[in-house]
């Protein structure tokens, strides 16, 4: 390998991708609410599912922040971690005024999550070939402690609660014995794939291939469980002359694979919010957390 390529490879390994602070704050708030919900709902038998992705008949998939099931009841939850204040106008658009100034129109927050709830219920009922399914509650949880609330319209498509209000539902309501059909439905959904870059930035989306050769990509395409990967990079100036400065370990189903990561290889991923798939160089990857595939009835 030429010195020019070695230099380029070394610079790729050393490049730092810092986290997106705004999105990271929202992700941490979602993780916090899921953790607190599990603790609050444990005694009454509630079961929590995060980042549930459902197919949309209009195309693509839609994400639900939290789906919580108990007895024969489904709680479909959209979480917002806004600061500042917000109003809800006559068209049920949520308009936020941020603490640092400026307004942002979030459009129909309640209407969107209500639609996702209907899609989720339809999928469950179609899977079981039934007409009347579980009871569904649609909830928007505003979790920031310093958020000024307006008066909530009576005809809003979702309930509105703060963080404590969400936890009180789980603590105070005992929904009874969990419907196993609900468990099977929720287990049939997947979540976003996560690719963590050097420095902490996380890419969310769908990983389509690992780019580690035909044999490994074949295993990946037929996987039945989530895939975990960890990459190790040598970054010192002396690693320019190392023939194998990057290596990885990837667990696919029950196989633990140690990977050589030569110069120029990438995985293929469709990142959320981007129109096209793109290559993500392995030299810039720290770790992988790839969701299990959805059930066959959910594809």
The pLDDT tens digits of the residues spanning 198-248 come to 999 999 999 999 999 999 999 999 999 999 999 999 999 999 999 999 999
Statement to judge: residues 182 and 223 lie in one domain: no
Please state whether beta strands 202-209 and 135-142 pair in parallel, antiparallel, or not at all (unpaired).
unpaired
Tell me the pTM. 0.89
* pLDDT score for 299: 82
Question: Same domain for 181 and 215?
Answer: no
Answer yes or no: do 11 and 29 share one domain. Answer: no
d(CA 124, CA 130): 9
| Residue 278 β-bridge partners | 269
| Cα first-last separation, the chain | 44
> What is the average pLDDT score of the chain?
94
Q: Is residue 233 part of a domain?
A: yes
Report the 10 Å Cβ neighbour count for 145: 10
Residues 157 and 244 in one domain: no
Q: Where are the alpha helices (DSSP H) in the chain?
A: 3-14, 21-41, 109-128, 163-172, 180-187, 214-221
Residues 230 and 106 in one domain: no
Q: Which of 168, 187, 206 is the last residue of a domain?
A: 187
DSSP label of 236: S
107 pLDDT tier (thresholds 50, 70, 90): confident
Q: Does the residue 222 lie in any domain?
A: yes
Q: Examine the fold and report which residue of 157, 187, 217 is the final residue of a domain before the chain moves on.
A: 187
Check if the beta carbon of residue 47 is closer than 8 Å to that of residue 177.
no
> Do 85 and 232 share a structural domain?
no
Does residue 118 lie in a domain region? yes
Is residue 63's pLDDT more than 90? yes
Confidence of residue 102 (pLDDT cuts 50, 70, 90): confident
Query: Looking at the domain assignment, is residue 192 inside a domain?
Result: no
Q: Say yes or no: 160 and 94 in one domain.
A: yes
Do 125 and 209 fall within a single domain? no
Nearest by Cα to 36 from 176, 143, 177, 183? 143
Residue 139 structure tokens: 């909830």
* Structural domain total, the chain: 2
User: Which residue range(s) make up the domain with 42?
Assistant: 21-187
Pairing of strands 278-281, 266-271: antiparallel
193 occurs within a structural domain: no
CATH number at residue 171: 3.40.1350
User: Which pLDDT value is given to residue 289?
Assistant: 97
Q: Which of 290, 289, 295 is nearest to 187 (CA)?
A: 295
Q: Is residue 271 part of a domain?
A: yes
Same domain for 35 and 8: no
Report the alpha-carbon distance of residue 246 to residue 239 in Å, rounded.
Answer: 10
Backbone φ, ψ for residue 199 (5° rounding): 110, -15
Q: Residues 179, 236: one domain? A: no
Looking at the structure, do residues 181 and 207 belong to the same domain, yes or no? no
- Please indicate, yes or no, whether residues 130 and 222 belong to a single structural domain of this protein: no
Average pLDDT, integer, range 188-197: 96
Choose the final residue of a domain: 187, 219, 242. 187
| Within a domain: 71 | yes
Q: How far apart are CA 133 and CA 127, in angstroms?
A: 11
- Measure the CA–CA gap between 214 and 210, rounded to whole angstroms: 10
d(CA 271, CA 263): 23
Q: Which residues pair with 203 in a beta bridge?
A: 195
């Amino acid at each position: 390998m030429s010195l020019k390529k070695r230099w380029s490879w070394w610079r790729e390994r050393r490049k730092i991708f810092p986290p997106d602070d705004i999105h990271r704050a929202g992700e941490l708030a979602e993780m916090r609410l899921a953790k607190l919900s599990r603790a609050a709902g444990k005694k009454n038998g509630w079961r929590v599912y995060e980042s549930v992705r459902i197919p949309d008949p209009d195309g693509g998939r839609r994400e639900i922040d939290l789906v919580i099931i108990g007895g024969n009841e489904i709680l479909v939850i959209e979480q917002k971690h806004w600061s500042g204040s917000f109003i809800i106008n006559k068209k049920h658009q949520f308009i936020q005024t941020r603490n640092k100034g400026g307004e942002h129109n979030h459009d129909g927050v309640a209407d969107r999550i209500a639609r996702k709830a209907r899609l989720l219920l339809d999928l469950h009922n179609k899977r079981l070939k039934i007409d009347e399914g579980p009871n569904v509650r649609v909830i928007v949880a505003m979790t920031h402690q310093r958020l000024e609330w307006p008066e909530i319209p009576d005809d809003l498509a979702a309930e509105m609660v703060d963080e404590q209000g969400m936890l009180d539902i789980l603590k105070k309501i005992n929904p009874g014995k969990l419907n196993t059909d609900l468990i099977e439905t929720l287990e049939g959904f997947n979540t976003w794939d996560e690719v963590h870059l050097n420095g902490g930035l996380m890419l969310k989306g769908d990983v389509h291939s690992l780019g580690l050769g035909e044999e490994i990509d074949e295993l990946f395409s037929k996987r039945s469980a989530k895939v975990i990967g960890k990459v190790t990079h040598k970054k010192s100036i002396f690693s320019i002359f190392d023939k194998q400065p990057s290596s990885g370990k990837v667990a696919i189903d029950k196989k633990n694979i140690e990977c050589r990561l030569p110069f120029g290889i990438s995985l293929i991923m469709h990142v959320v919010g981007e129109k096209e798939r793109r290559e993500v160089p392995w030299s810039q990857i720290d770790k992988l957390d790839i969701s299990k595939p959805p059930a066959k009835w959910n594809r």
